[in-house]
Structure 1
C-alpha cells in the first residue's frame, strides 16, 4: 500500500475502545498529527499505514486532516510474515548521538531489537530510574522515525539499560552468541556464523555484542567468552562502535537471509 506512515498507540483509551468495538477509526497523537498533516502535508483521503512497535499494521485512509487532530479510517489489518531469524544488538552504551545512529541503522537494516548495556568503559550513566525512562522515551522517537523511513514494521525491542554482568547471566535465551572483538583469537564473522548455523533450528535468536567507546575490558571479554560468546573479527580495521554495530548486523542479516 503506497502512502504515508504514522505511529499509533493502539492501546490508548480511544483507539483501544475503537478497535475492540470494531468502530474502524484511529486517532493520532498531536505530535503525529502535526508531522503527518503539517510536515508531510497529507490531506483527507490520503492512504496511511498506521503502525506500532509490536508489529501491528493497519491500512488506513485519512478522514480528518488537521495538524492538531488527525483521524484515520481503518480499511484492513495488514498481515506480514514473521521472520524466523531474530538478530539483536547488545550495545554497550556510547555517547548519545552515536547510540541514536545505531538505533536508526538497526531498525533500517532489520534488527529485532537493541539491548543497551552499562559496561566498565561506558560513559553514559543514569542518575535514577526516571532519568533512564526519559532516555528510553527519547530513543523510542528515533525507532519510530526509522520505521517510517524503512517501512520495516517488524516488532522492535528496546529494554531499559542493564548491567553487563546481568546481561551475560540472561544470555542463555539466545541460540547464537557472537562478540565483535579485537582479540587475536577472533575468527571472521561469516565463518563463525556458518559454523553456528550448521545445527541451527529455526526460528532462532542471535545476539551480537558490541563494546563501547574504549572497547571492553579484558575481564569483560573473558566473561563474555565464558558465557558462550564467540569472538569475531569484522576485518583488519579498528571501527567506531556505531560502525561496528552496522557492519556486524548487516553481515548477520544478509547471511541468514540467503540461508
Structure 2
C-alpha cells in the first residue's frame, strides 16, 4: 500500500477490512492509523463501509516512523508444519514485532508438501547472515539458559533468531552456526515444538530489547 498525501482515499479490503469492522467494530468517522509497509504511518478517517471494504480518507501526509529497539529476523524450520500451524506461527511472530520470518531448511526437515511449497519461500540460512549479525541466538536444548547468555545491554539495530526442526539441528549444523557467531541458548527443561520454541524465544528477546530501549531513552 502506498500512502503518502493528505486527502487521498485508501480502500481497505481483505483481512484488514474484516479486522477493522468485525473485531474492532469501527465505522464511519472513526479514526485509524495506516502503515505502508515501508516505515510510513498516516492518520485517516473512515468515510464509507460496504460489503466489499472500507474507504479511509487520509488526514495528513505520511510520516516515517523510526524503528524502536532491535529488529529481529526469525529463521525457523517450520516449512513442514501441518494443519495451519505454519500460518499461525507467522501470524504470531508478526504480532510480536518480528521484522521478518523465514522458513528454514535443515538436514532433518521432512519433504515439503507441494501445496505448501508454493506458499512458503524456504531457504538455507547462509552463514554470512549469522557472521554479519552481532546478535544471533540459536535455540538449543543443551545450551545455557537464555537469560544467562543475554548481554546486559546492546546498541545493535538487528538480530537473528534461529530455531531448528523438532528433531533438532545436526551436530554439523550446530557447529557451523556456532562457528559463524551464533550463541546457543536454552529455553528451559521442556521439549518444545517448533512454533512454541519460536514464540518463546522471540517473546523473551522482544521484552529484553524493549527494556534496553527504555533504559537508553531514560539515560539520553
Q: Give the TM-score range, shorter chain.
A: 0.7 to 0.9
- Change in Cα spacing, 1:83 to 1:188, as seen in structure 2 (3 Å) is same
Q: Is the 8 A contact 1:180 1:209 kept in 2?
A: yes
Q: 1:163 aligns with which of 124, 128, 141?
A: 124
Aligned 1:41-190 pairs, distance under 5 A: 42-76=26-60, 77=62, 80-93=65-78, 94-96=80-82, 97-123=84-110, 125=112, 132=117, 134-136=118-120, 160-164=121-125, 167-183=126-142, 186-190=143-147
- Change in Cα spacing, 1:30 to 1:221, as seen in structure 2 (3 Å) is closer
- For the residues of structure 1 that align with 2:202 and 2:51, how far apart are their CA atoms? 37
Shift of 1:52: 3.5
Shift of 1:41: 5.2
Q: Is the 8 A contact 2:77 2:105 kept in 1?
A: yes
Match of 1:5 in 2: none
- For the residues of structure 2 that align with 1:114 and 1:60, how far apart are their CA atoms? 29
- Change in Cα spacing, 1:68 to 1:207, as seen in structure 2 (3 Å) is same
Q: Which has the higher mean CA deviation after the structures are superposed, 57-66 or 106-115?
A: 106-115
Match of 1:210 in 2: 163
List gaps (5 residues or longer) in structure 1: 1-8, 137-159
List gaps (5 residues or longer) in structure 2: 213-220
Q: Is the 8 A contact 1:43 1:62 kept in 2?
A: yes
Show structure 1 runs of 4+ deviating over 6 A: none
State the TM-score, normalizing by the size of structure 2: 0.79
- Change in Cα spacing, 1:171 to 1:217, as seen in structure 2 (3 Å) is same
Match of 1:228 in 2: 181
- For the residues of structure 2 that align with 1:191 and 1:39, how far apart are their CA atoms? 40
Q: Give deviations 1:61-91, integer Å, cap 9, x for gaps.
A: 1122212242211113465442131222211
- For the residues of structure 2 that align with 1:247 and 1:40, how far apart are their CA atoms? 27
CA RMSD of aligned residues (A): 2.8
- Change in Cα spacing, 1:71 to 1:135, as seen in structure 2 (3 Å) is same
- Change in Cα spacing, 1:33 to 1:234, as seen in structure 2 (3 Å) is closer
Shift of 1:49: 2.4
Structure 1 position 219 matched with structure 2 position 172: yes
Higher helix share: 1
